[in-house]
Amino acid sequence: MRRSIATVSLSGTLRQKLEAVAAAGFDGVELFEPDFTHFPGMAAALGRMAADLGLTIDLFQPFRDFEAMPPGLFARSLDRAERKFDLMQAMGAPLMLCCSNTSPLSVDEPDLAAEQLHALAERAARRGLRVGFEALAWGRHTSRYGQAWDIVRRADHPALGLILDSFHTLSLQDDPAGIAEIPGDKIFFLQMADAPLLSMDVLQWARHHRVFPGQGDFDVVGFYEQVLLAGYSGPLSLEIFNDMFRETPNRRTAVDAMRSLQYLESQVRPRLAARAAAARPDPRAAAVLAVRELAEPPAAPEFAGVAFIEFAADEATAPQLDAQLHQLGFRRAGRHRSKAATLYRQGDIALIVNAEPASFARSRFELHGPSVCALGLRTAQPQAAQDRAIALRSQRHRSPLGPGELEVPAIVSPGGNLMHFVDERLGPDGLFAADFLPEVDDAAPVDAGLRRVDHVALGLSLEQYDTWTLFTRAVLGLSLAESLELADPFGLVRSRAAADRTRSVRLVLNASLSSRTLTARTVGRRGDGGVHHIAFASDDIFASVAQLRAQGVDFLPISPNYYDDLPTRFDIEPALLARMREAGVLFDRSADGDFLHIYTRAADEGLFFEVVQRIDFYDGYGAANSPARMAAQAQA
Ligand code: MG
Ligand code: MG
């Protein structure tokens, strides 16, 4: 499988882009011509630089506004093409992308378009080059792949083929099912892009909001399947125009890019296998599986809850955190055998406060109060979970082990925190029994009825949001809810939840579109961001809140106006409303059930906690109350 990426998809100078792409394991690039126009060397030097990095230049793009033009303009365009062919030969690029004409001077005559493209292909062929024709979604007369294919077929030249781009087809909601009927050898190149579903001008959508497969909402797997069934055997490439990717460090983007292609391949494989094994087997699917090396990472793990959350602390912050956790009803339950780490328990929840200098250094930011440095997820397949992550470009992490301590497979998650995969068969206490010496906590508080970790919310920089979307979906196999935009008094916060099938692991990704929100300010202090709040589940939130208040927990005050407004939005029993008002508990309702929740006040705008109670099958996170929370935080 040859994998390629357009140079427009990454930040940096052209050399830096090629270095990042090569380091991520790509085979080639699509050269976006403006990158070359500003390159300080000649075309041949670029070709040598790419070759030296182990990369081929698979495609030269874009060649615009060519076909179906009046004769005078056509002659000028042929001259223009010859200059581009000179460059392509010098840099070693075998294929030119010619995108459908957007010029108001072009005419709606497919036969003329075919005739002129034939002439272009003939010029290319004389130099051993080829031309691919791509329908732009906003092309003047050719906007769909079916129209482009019709013109290519009429042109009937061996050096002219079709270029497919998932964005143009899926953004127009065109049916990709016809792609499989196109002869595979007439498809010269395949560009994949995903995108969020947006209601906006398609050109603006295409130029600013494309994302890697797995980061958006398009059925990119279904599209790719059709291209493979056609018998296409060229590179699988990415062409992503995205404002954020233009800023993101390009090594990170290149890793996401490779992960997205491997994920795409791994998702299409079972679909092809099902076609090949159907009662009436599809021989095309069997042929693809026989010849194409599609990525096949180990299956995504099944999770069984959050095993532990680990905080990084130092000598100053560890006692503060100890006091805070005691207030929240956690008791000290163990001391690590070989590290300066303390275990806290309540219900099924395990929190570890790690005061090792190494863990503190790993958190990489100056601590303003506690910060989470690692997350342990319980699964029956810890090794497969780690193997899958590594196959999808995550880094393995090995912690130093003392005698008798268990090795827990771990990886580095985006942004640098650790993620451990804890063997479910160890039971709720097995890991801690091995690694911690039991401790009797003389200052143990009364249990506040916090039972489980309900969700862990991350505050991320905007550039990490898409990275985490792909990481949770591809590496962890979580499914993603719709991306929402929530109103903080100082700007919008984008938010998206990722959860496993049984809802035992729930992560909420948040990124601020404004630099002035609380989310943005906390992310700014922590580099790429990190855990923003942790929600614990209670089976009786009112009893938990009463106990926690008695232990001195400071909850975020909610405006009385919120409680006056609630009964205008929901049909709520007056007694329940009065209890919520008195306790400061927030309320949400969906078709599946009700949600009660409350937030602690964060010290120094740092990490805060949430207590939640899900009633029936409520599956959300109280997003409707986020403005209430963020306004209260701003006013607190
Ligand atoms: Mg394209
Ligand atoms: Mg929450």
Ligand 1 center–CA 225 separation, angstroms: 18
Q: Which of 243, 273, 291 is the last residue of a domain?
A: 291
Ligand nearest to the CA of 162: 1
Same domain flag for 482 and 442: no
Same domain flag for 433 and 454: no
* Dist CA 58 CA 436 (whole Å): 55
CATH of the domain at 564: 3.10.180.10
Same domain flag for 36 and 145: yes
Region 627-632: what's the mean pLDDT?
90
Region 487-497: what's the mean pLDDT?
91
CA proximity to 193, closest of 173, 175, 172, 169: 169
Same domain flag for 42 and 15: yes
CA proximity to 78, closest of 57, 96, 91, 104: 96
Same domain flag for 184 and 320: no
Ligand 2 center–CA 282 separation, angstroms: 47
> Phi, psi (5° rounding) for residue 383?
-70, -40
Coil vs helix vs strand at 107: coil
| 399-421 burial code (b ≥16 CB/10 A, e <16) | beeeeebeebbbbbbbbbbbbbb
CA proximity to 44, closest of 98, 86, 100: 86
Range of the domain at 137: 3-291
Tell me which range, 207-211, 430-434, 575-579, is most confidently predicted by mean pLDDT. 575-579
Ligand nearest to the CA of 456: 2
Same domain flag for 510 and 373: no
Ligand 2 center–CA 522 separation, angstroms: 16
Region 77-97: what's the mean pLDDT?
98
Confidence of residue 199 (pLDDT cuts 50, 70, 90): confident
Ligand 1 center–CA 162 separation, angstroms: 11
Q: What is the pLDDT of residues 306-341, one digit of tens each?
A: 999 999 988 888 998 999 999 999 999 999 999 999
Locate all alpha helices (DSSP H) within 62-165, ordered by sequence: 71-91, 110-126, 145-155
Ligand 2 center–CA 532 separation, angstroms: 9
| 10-41 burial code (b ≥16 CB/10 A, e <16) | bbbebeebbbbbbebebbbbbbbbebbeebee
Ligand 1 center–CA 41 separation, angstroms: 26
CATH of the domain at 82: 3.20.20.150
Same domain flag for 462 and 575: yes
Per the CB < 8 A criterion, the answer to whether 485 and 492 are in contact is: yes
Same domain flag for 285 and 367: no
Our count of domains for the chain comes to: 3
Ligand nearest to the CA of 531: 2
**Residue 242 DSSP symbol:** B
pLDDT for residue 364: 47
Q: Which two tokens stand for residue 475?
A: 């590496």
Same domain flag for 231 and 350: no
> Alpha carbon 359 to chain centroid distance?
26
Measure Cα distances from 151 to 133, 140, 183, 277 in Å.
Answer: 9, 14, 14, 36
* Dist CA 43 CA 493 (whole Å): 44
Ligand 1 center–CA 239 separation, angstroms: 6
Q: For residue 594, list its beta bridge partners.
A: 589, 615
Window from 123-137, 252-266, 287-301, 527-541 with minimum mean pLDDT:
527-541
pLDDT of 192 > 60? The answer is yes
Q: For residue 28, list its beta bridge partners.
A: 4, 56
- Mean pLDDT over each residue of the chain, to the nearest integer: 94
Same domain flag for 347 and 213: no
Region 607-626: what's the mean pLDDT?
96
Ligand 1 center–CA 163 separation, angstroms: 8
Determine what percent of the chain is predicted with pLDDT higher than 70: 97
Q: What is the pLDDT of residues 339-362, one digit of tens each?
A: 999 999 999 999 999 998 766 555
Ligand 2 center–CA 309 separation, angstroms: 16
pLDDT for residue 517: 83
Q: Looking up tokens 């291209």, which residue turns up?
A: 227
pLDDT for residue 512: 87
Q: Which of 225, 259, 291 is the last residue of a domain?
A: 291
Same domain flag for 306 and 427: yes
Ligand 1 center–CA 187 separation, angstroms: 13
Ligand 1 center–CA 234 separation, angstroms: 15
Q: Which of 447, 466, 489 is the last residue of a domain?
A: 447
Ligand 2 center–CA 621 separation, angstroms: 6
Ligand 1 center–CA 165 separation, angstroms: 5
Ligand nearest to the CA of 537: 2
Ligand nearest to the CA of 486: 2
Q: What is the pLDDT of residues 354-388, one digit of tens each?
A: 998 766 555 544 545 678 999 999 999 999 999 99
Same domain flag for 230 and 315: no
pTM: 0.94
Region 94-105: what's the mean pLDDT?
98
